[in-house]
Structures are given as structure tokens and as C-alpha cells.
Amino acid sequence: MLATISLCHDAWVKKSIALAPWLVLLAVWEIAGRLGFLSKFILPWPSLVFSSLTQELISGALLSDVAWSLLRVLGGFVAAVFLGTALGFAIALNGTAARVCDPILNFLRPIPPVAWVPLAIVWFGIGNAPAFFLTFVAAFFPIVLNAAEGVRAIPEQHFQVAACLQASPQMVFRRVIWPGALPQLFTGYRVGFGIAWMAVVAAEMIAARSGLGHLIQVSQDVLRTDLVVAGMATIGVIGIGCDWGLRRLARRAMPWENA
């Protein structure tokens, strides 16, 4: 009983320490605004942002924008997970695939996702399709690179042991390649999702009529900086939540990492 109470107390202390800088920042920000050091037009203070955020929630507009943004980013991200993982494994395991794909990937990878926006609009028009494409492009390259590096990082001794045990190619993949690549692979998923989340917001500011990016763009046009900050805060909170979900999924997929 005492041990359980002590663990709960330690967890509460750690969470309090983590939240303390945020609470201090918000308090200083609010006080500076109310004392006149910050203009509510240039940088609206937290209470104004929270009020605008609450109004958007009550009206249902914010939930609709969040749903559209999540739909678009998840669509492109899921496609990037499947294709990027498969291509990364192929590059790491097949020398011909590496020689063919590496130059193309190295050429396309430095191009920012936003640079694809004009072509995406020409190819797909305005709406969901260009956002799906841009989130796919944003997530694809980190996933490919981390998948390939994850396989290459597996010690050669693991493959030698599998060969000594006469393991089939399917068994080698299930017992050696897949679990060995998972740590690096989940790093790629987390990085890819973060970039895809940024890309979908940029795409919605230019090529969509809904979503959080569209909310920020429209709010800027009507000089509602409180809604701009509210949209940015929502993007940050959802990004933290999604990254937390991916980390939880990684812990479930790799129980040996937490042993």
C-alpha cells in the first residue's frame, strides 16, 4: 500500500515538474498582456485565445476542422507507412533496389513538401486529394530512410544464427528482420507523422476549404489573431497527442525494449 502511494506521489511530482514551465509561461504571458506590454492584436493573451477556442468548440466549427485535418494527414500517413516501409526494406535487402532507388530518393528528399503544392493543385485540384498527396510525400522519405537503416543496423550474427538453424526466409523476416528494424522504424513513423502534420496544415492554407490550416488562413484574412493562435495551439496539442499514441504503440510492439 505504501509503495503504491509512493509511486503515485512520484508520478504526480514528475508531472508537476513537467507542467511548471508551461504554467509559468502562460502566467507571464497573461500578466504582460493585461498590463499593456503586449497588444491583443499582435499577440493575444491566453484568456482571449481560450475564449475564442471555447466559442469555436461550442459552435462545432473547430471539431469539424480538426476532423478534416486528421482525416487528410492519416490518409497520406497510412499510405506512406505501407509503401515507405516496404521500399525501405527492399533497399536494405536488395542491392539492385538500392542502386536504382537511392539516387532518386536523394534527389527528391531535400525538396520541401510545400514546394509540391503548385503541382498538387494542378494534378488534383482543390480539396482533399492534394492534401493526401502532400502528407504522403512529407511522411514517405523519413519512413523509407529509417526502415532501410533499421534493417542495416541488425547485427550480422543474427542472420548467421538463423542460417545455422535453417530458418526459412519467412521465419527470418518474422524473427530477425522485423523485430530488429522496429526501433528505427518507429522513429521514422514519429518523424514522418510530425512532418506530415505540418504539411497538411500548409496544404490547407492554400488548397483546401476546411481544416485547421484553412481556419488559420481565414482568421488571418479577417485579422482575428486570437483565432490564429487558437488554431496553432490546437495543432500543437493534437501533435503531442498523436506522438504519445505512437510511442505507446511502439512500447506495445517492442515489449523487450521496456524490460
Q: For residue 104, give its domain range.
A: 46-258
pLDDT tens digits in sequence order for the chain, 259 residues long: 544 455 455 556 566 677 778 888 888 888 888 888 878 788 888 888 888 889 888 888 889 999 999 999 999 999 999 999 999 999 999 989 899 999 999 999 999 988 898 898 889 887 788 889 999 999 999 999 999 999 999 988 888 888 888 888 888 888 888 988 999 999 999 999 999 998 888 888 887 788 888 899 988 888 888 899 898 989 989 989 999 999 999 988 888 776 5
Nearest to 202 by CA among 73, 80, 114, 116: 114
What CATH number is given to the structural domain containing 183?
1.10.3720.10
- Residues 135 and 166 placed together within one structural domain of the fold: yes
- Residues 13 and 57 placed together within one structural domain of the fold: no
- Residues 136 and 170 placed together within one structural domain of the fold: yes
- Residues 170 and 152 placed together within one structural domain of the fold: yes
- Residues 7 and 62 placed together within one structural domain of the fold: no
- Residues 206 and 148 placed together within one structural domain of the fold: yes
- Residues 127 and 15 placed together within one structural domain of the fold: no
- Residues 118 and 182 placed together within one structural domain of the fold: yes
Output the pTM of the full model.
0.84
- Residues 148 and 169 placed together within one structural domain of the fold: yes
